[in-house]
């Protein structure tokens, strides 16, 4: 069963190859090894000179733009190329025009011309399936985003999500609820009147920290000063803070664009 597709949307007058490179997909594993797939011929194949890799759980779509779309799966996810929908003389990449605009009741209509908006798909990353408490319901999760970085560098983000380093807090008055993979964030709850939160993230090569996200429930709405490894940072320039209001209390949302493979100390202080 297919859980998701990475669709390339084409404006009228364009074909898939106008919007994505013929070497359309790069697959990466968590060691940073890559293989590239080419659509010089219909339905794709491993590009010349590209070696096969094991355990590829990251898909990067090589759009003709500075930012490219990626999907990161959990350990055990699998990637497969799409095997129908290419039309000889139009595109070697599978392409359909029953969606996203036409909404025609003929799902699977292969695009014969570039006369209307169309969608294309080179492959699908199949997520790991998790059982849930509800009968007949399964859960799958992937991490989606855009990047201008080389494909191999996505392995760091993948390891930070799949093998998140442990976060500990030195401050009293906070409950540490651990890492929430669905939110890609560490969850804490303020339980006292403490105005300072000191955290240590035990990052390593196997469990790096990448684009740190922390949610502190019941924080309030006071602004904060942030220090990284003892150095003060500037809000907006070096990190972002948000306040989420709900019926329980205001939660502090922290995003810190740091990437490290060794211990990181973060300190939040109410102004």
Domain residue extents for the chain: 8-158, 163-270
pLDDT tens-digit readout, 86-123: 999 999 999 999 888 887 777 778 999 999 999 999 99
pTM for the full predicted model: 0.93
C-alpha 197/C-alpha 220 separation (Å) is: 13
The answer, yes or no, to whether residue 243 has pLDDT greater than 90, is yes
The tokens 């390339």 sit on which residue?
8
The pLDDT-based confidence of 245 (bands split at 50, 70, 90) is very high
Q: Which residue has the higher pLDDT, 90 or 3?
A: 90
pLDDT in tens, 202-223: 999 999 999 999 999 999 888 8
Is the predicted pLDDT of residue 260 greater than 90, yes or no? yes
State the fold for domain 163-270.
Immunoglobulin-like (2.60.40)
């Amino acid at each position: 069963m297919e859980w998701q597709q990475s669709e390339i949307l084409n404006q009228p007058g364009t074909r898939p190859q106008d919007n994505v490179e013929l070497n359309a997909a790069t697959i990466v594993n968590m060691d940073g090894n890559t293989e590239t797939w080419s659509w010089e011929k219909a339905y794709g194949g491993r590009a010349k000179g590209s070696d096969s890799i094991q355990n590829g759980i990251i898909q990067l779509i090589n759009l003709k733009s500075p930012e490219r779309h990626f999907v990161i799966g959990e350990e055990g996810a699998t990637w497969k190329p799409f095997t129908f929908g290419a039309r000889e003389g139009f595109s070697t990449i599978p392409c359909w025009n029953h969606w996203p605009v036409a909404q025609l009741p003929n799902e699977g209509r292969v695009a014969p011309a570039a006369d209307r908006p169309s969608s294309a798909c080179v492959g699908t990353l199949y997520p790991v399936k998790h059982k849930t408490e509800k009968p007949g319901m399964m859960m799958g999760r992937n991490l989606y985003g855009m990047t201008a970085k080389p494909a191999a560098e996505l392995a760091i983000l993948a390891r930070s999500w799949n093998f998140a380093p442990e976060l500990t807090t030195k401050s009293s008055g906070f409950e540490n609820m651990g890492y929430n993979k669905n939110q890609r964030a560490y969850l804490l709850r303020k339980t006292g009147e403490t105005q300072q939160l000191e955290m240590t993230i035990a990052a390593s090569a196997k469990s790096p920290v990448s684009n740190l996200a922390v949610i502190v429930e019941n924080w309030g709405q006071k602004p904060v000063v942030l220090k990284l490894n003892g150095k003060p940072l500037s809000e907006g320039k070096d990190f972002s803070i948000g306040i989420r209001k709900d019926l329980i209390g205001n939660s502090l949302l922290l995003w810190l664009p740091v990437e490290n493979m060794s211990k990181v100390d973060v300190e939040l202080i109410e102004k």
